[in-house]
Amino acid sequence: MNNLKNMQKFIAVAKGEQPADLLLTNAKVLNVFNGEVENTNVAICGELVAGVGDYKKAQKIIDLKGRYVAPGLINGHVHLESSMLDVGQYARAVVPHGTAAIVTDLHEIANVCGMDGIRYVLEYARQLPFDLFLMAPSCVPATHMETSGANLSADDIKKILEFDECIGLGEVMNYPGVLFGDTAMLEKIAAAKGKIVDGHAPGVSGLDLNAYIGAGIGSDHESVALKEGEEKLRRGMRLMIREGSSEKNLEALLPLVTDKTYPRCLFVTDDRHAEDILHDGDIDAVVRKAIKLGLDPVRAVQLATINTAAYFKLDKLGAVAPGYYANFIVLDNLKKFDIKETYYRGVMVAEGGKSLFKSPPAPISKLNKTVKVKPFTVEALKLKSVEQALVIEIVPGQIITKKKTIKPKIENGLAVADVSRDIIKAVVVERHKATGNIGVGLVKGFGLKRGALASSTAHDSHNIVAVGVSDEDIYAAVKEVEQIQGGLVVAAGGKVLGSLATPIAGLLSPEPLEKVVEQLDKLQKLAKELGCVLPAPFATLSFLALPVIPELRLTDLGLVDVNAFKLLK
């Protein structure tokens, strides 16, 4: 409440003595506290739910005729940058899917632009009808084994933790740093004392898991197997059940949601791409799939609302109840979970799958010219021959990779692509400081028979990552990414066949969701014509340079053995 008069009016409305601003009648209200569905009315006073019950009077009355009312959904861990949509377009895309709040560490844009990137997103989000809660990005850069565009120290983290929107410390991806007692990493965790600290611990178990949790880390979204998730729950972690675009763990982990454990579980998307938001939805798609897999609809909603709000201590969010913000969704059928309307603080902001608000102008920023590549020639992409070469093997449907050793195909003393074995070149070109660093390696699993793909979206440092059959095509694709100041490119025959520009930090497009997906679809069709067998090749490409997910990766500094946490010379 802003003042005493507002509180007095709220109390009068809640008691039924004064008319509500908005009254929803004949509603089936999903109660996330006791798991019931109540046939009742909902009175709204300003931005808040005044009460649930037998209310009669209001300035505006909407008869829901037996439709369902559920809390606005909360995405507990998401990188909005993975949508490739600028902030305003992202909100217009996800709010119609019932997303009323997100928790994000802005790790991606921070790795490119540091504080400037964080401030840009926060300033933009304040103009939009959804809540963005910030977790201070803990790993900028993610590791010492790549070149990032920024470096956030423990002192920087302390400053970010003072932002109004900041509620804790973002995923601590540098789990080896925690386990090795790295001073800089532990200083960041210490700076967040008393606040939420999110984890990122793929495959960490046993005594190492004890140490990681004991350092102050409360959640994990990287579990891919039942046993792994079970151990993390047993040791006291909140289990974030992730169902993103490349990382799909819902079906494997859903059996862990029981009467005993469900309050410690929540749904997240982590990385969800534009085409999936358009065709399938956002966090609502996770709820919908969980229901199809047999989870009780009310419980599924709890994992996307009140459980998330409770873990992150989000005051007045996650329920349709007295004193809570009037963020709610309206549905015809709870099992189908097809959202018809989204309300934010008492105002309808989306209807029939369409947003009712426009994207406001983006804040003035320095984020439009971030791709800086030191001039190089195609000769820089050569790979010296060796008797045995390491190959990054893609694992379909997952972001983990396998480390394989093969005898490479040799031509003129150089290791080259071998399409007969589905082995092609992989390249990472540094693009923040024009250092001239270029990492070159081999990758298996793309299926390309000719041509190349390149992208400036490359977790976590977002250098330019490319794969291809010929050095000339890789070179053409990389140079086009530089020319358009960030984006996705397909090249073949030494020429660019298509591109999608993401000029904001080299990550985001100012175009609406539908146009971005249309451009992306064209690129993916081109990739398929070149032989690519992956359903979402650019999504897979974006994780090729991520040196915190096992087993083998490639950065601008070279191959990284993630399990050993070291660069391979």
Average pLDDT, the chain: 96
For residues 239 and 529, the answer to whether their CB atoms sit within 8 Å is no
What tokens appear for 459 in the block?
Answer: 């977790």
- The rounded distance, in Å, linking the Cα atoms of 460 and 36 is 42
Which whole number is the average pLDDT over 25-36? 98
Instruction: Determine the Cα–Cα distance for residues 128 and 115; give it in Å rounded to an integer.
Output: 21
Q: In this predicted model, what pLDDT tens digit does every residue of 111-150 receive, in sequence order?
A: 999 999 999 999 999 999 999 999 999 999 988 899 999 9
User: What CATH class is the domain 71-319?
Assistant: alpha beta
- Domain locations along the chain: 4-66, 71-319, 378-567
Which among 512, 432, 502, 446 has a CA at the least distance from the CA of 474?
446
Which of 546, 548, 543 lies closest to 173, judged by CA? 548
Tens-place pLDDT, residues 332-350: 999 999 999 999 999 999 9
Of the chain, the end-to-end C-alpha distance in Å amounts to 60
The one-letter amino acid at 246: S
Is the link from the previous residue into 460 a cis peptide, with omega within 30 of 0?
Answer: yes
- pLDDT, position 1: 46
- DSSP tag of 248: B
What does pTM read for this prediction?
0.93
Q: What pLDDT, on a 0 to 100 scale, did the predictor assign at position 399?
A: 81
* CB proximity list for 424: less than 8 A, separation 6 or greater: 417, 418, 442, 443, 444, 446, 448, 467, 468, 469
Whole-angstrom Cα distance, residue 194 to residue 182? 21
CA distance 50 to 263: 26
* Amino acid letter, residue 536: A
In tens, the pLDDT along 159-172 reads: 999 999 999 999 99
Residue range 421-434, pLDDT digits in tens: 999 999 999 999 99
The alpha carbon of residue 539 and the mean position of all alpha carbons in its chain are separated, in whole angstroms, by 12
From the options 3.40.50.300, 2.40.170.20, 3.40.50.620, 2.30.40.10, give the CATH code of 4-66. 2.30.40.10
Percent of the chain with pLDDT over 90: 92
Among all chains, which residue has been given the structure tokens 């996650």?
318
Q: What is the pLDDT of residue 2?
A: 61
